Amino acid sequence: MYHLLKQIIVTGIKTEAPPQPDETLRVTAERLRAEILDYFAGALTIRHVDAGSCNGCELEIHMCNNPYYNLEGLGIKFVASPRHADMLLVTGPVSRHMEVALKRTYDATPDPKLVVAIGDCGCTGGIFGESYASCGRVSNVIPVDVAVPGCPPTPLAIMQGILTAISRKA
């Protein structure tokens, strides 16, 4: 226990400043009223859906909660069910085998809701494209508010996408 406590103290607080929203990431015009966004800005819950990624984007979504980025410190947390979520964070080209599951997850998320597509594949279908097995970009299957490019996008870019979705347009 001594080593554990000592290590916590020696490590100190590593958290860095969060990124600013970036309007260029927005795909569709704001669908939600400003008052609702103000609520989300204080306590946002996210359900992540991997709709067919290579797992690279998931690695970086994990890293958003490491001590450097500390996403939860901004009042933003991941939840276990779409029914508890305000936002879906969707990765991958949407494989045809995940198409129904993604739509059902979208439907299970209560309105008002936001969708952020993560990664080059989520934005455009990426290297996998559209095929017998892939529906391509996320917006081919469910409506998308903000799309974050990158292969995979860095944790800062992912956070920026999330913060853009819940920010009012300047």
Partner 1 sequence: MKLEDFQIELKPLPGAMPVWHGRVDARQWRTACQQVRDKGGRLVALWGSDNSDRGGGFAVHAALTVQSGLLVIELPFSGGSFPDISDIFPAANRMQRAVRDLFGVGAENAADQRKWLRHTAWPADVFPLRKDASFEFPVSSSKLELNPEAQLATRNSRLETGQTDDYPFVRVEGEGVHEIPVGPVHAGTIEPGHFRFSIVGEGVLRLEERLGYKHKGIEKRFEQMTLAEGAKLAGRVSGDSTVAYAWAYAMAVESAAGMTPPPRALWLRALLLERERVANHLGDLGFLGNDAALGFGLAQFLRLKEDWLRMNAALFGHRYLMDTIAPGGVARDVTPEGMAIMRRDMGAMEGTVALLKGVYDEHAGLQDRFIGCGRIKPDHADRLGLTGLAGRASAVAWDLRAQFPPVPYGEFEVRMATHRNGDVAARVTVRFEEIFESLRLLRLILDRLPLGELASAVPTPPAGALGIGWVEGWRGEVLIALETGPNNGIRRLHPHDPSWQNWPLLERAVLGNIVPDFPLINKSFNLSYSGHDL
Q: For residue 22, give both structure tokens.
A: 């970036």
Query: Is residue 18 close enough to count as binding partner 1 by CB under 8 A?
Result: no
- For residues 42-56, b (16+ Cβ closer than 10 Å) or e, as one string? eebbbbbbbbbbbeb
- Near partner 1 by CB under 8 A: residue from 33, 62, 83, 168: 62
The CB-of-36 to partner 1 minimum distance in angstroms stands at: 15
- The vertex-112 CA angle with 137 and 99, nearest 5°, equals 30
SS3 135: strand
Q: Map the footprint of partner 1 across residues 66-125, applying CB under 8 A.
A: 66-68, 78, 80-82, 92-101, 103-105, 107
Binding site for partner 1 (CB under 8 A): 3-4, 7-8, 11, 14, 28, 31, 48-63, 65-68, 78, 80-82, 92-101, 103-105, 107, 126-136, 139-143, 151-152, 154
